[in-house]
Amino acid sequence: MIRLGVLISGGGSNLQAILDHVSAGTLDATIAVVLSNKKNAGGLARARAAGVPTVVIEHTEHAGREAFDAAIVTALREHDVEYVALAGFMRIVTPVLLDAFPMRVVNIHPALLPAFPGIHAQGQAFRYGARITGCTVHFVDRGTDTGPIIAQTAVAVLPSDTEESLSARILVEEHALFPKALQWIAEGRVTVASGATRDERPRVVVRDAATALGLGIAPSPPAASST
């Protein structure tokens, strides 16, 4: 069982997916607090309906990003948070938060990283003409969507897609993938391994990866006949 702090800025559909999995017993977590930088964020109502404590810390009331993140860290620690989930949190986090929760800040991104980092990733993929995009759950580091990847789900870009329809289908997969990755963390399956060389980035190792990912081993194709 892990204690989660969930950071939001908007409607909180990924928060709702996490709440639903906790309620269903498929995510071994307690949501200790939901924190928003916007007092009118729709996700706050979702949290309150589930009986989860909420905190609003408006970024406009702080002198800078570091001061804002320091206030967030204080609130998270007051609620004994172990891991931080960014569920549509539209702020760039600083080392103040990352150093307080090293490799314990988890984000969901609507693209197959390292492709299309940053904002409006669905639109980036659509305008680029990508045939495959998707979503990624990753640990957060000091770069822009550059942290070690925990899990990904691919989504095909259909000929009939608009940016809006593509975004909607990616969001469905986000709602499934984010709680699943958090459950792997809760089960102690996830570790971060340093790169073997100086140029190799840290990567996530998922214990019993085939089981965790729901992967089967495809049978080998029949050997070609010699006749």
Catalytic residue among 109, 120, 138, 175: 109
Tens digit of pLDDT at every position of the chain (227 positions): 999 999 999 999 999 999 999 999 999 999 999 999 999 999 999 999 999 999 999 988 888 999 999 999 999 999 999 999 999 999 999 999 999 999 999 999 999 999 999 999 999 999 999 999 999 999 999 999 999 999 999 999 999 999 999 999 999 999 999 999 999 999 999 999 887 777 788 889 898 766 555 543 333 344 444 43
Assess whether 120 and 186 both reside in one domain.
Answer: yes
Name, in order, each residue with C-beta under 8 angstroms of 142's C-beta and a sequence gap of 6 or more: 95, 98
Q: Is residue 224 part of a domain?
A: no
Token look-up 């102690």 returns: 188
Asked about 79 being catalytic, the answer comes back as no
Q: Is residue 220 part of a domain?
A: no
Q: What is the CATH number of the domain that holds 113?
A: 3.40.50.170
Assess whether 15 and 83 both reside in one domain.
Answer: yes
Q: Whole-angstrom Cα distance, residue 82 to residue 212?
A: 22
Q: Helix, strand, coil % (nearest 5) of the chain?
A: 35, 20, 45
Domain-ending residue, one of 71, 102, 133:
102
Which pLDDT does position 225 carry in this prediction? 43
Which range marks the domain in which residue 130 is found?
Answer: 109-212
The pTM (predicted TM-score) of the whole model is 0.89
Task: Domain count for the chain, please give it.
Answer: 2
Q: Whole-angstrom Cα distance, residue 128 to residue 126?
A: 5
Which pLDDT does position 211 carry in this prediction? 56
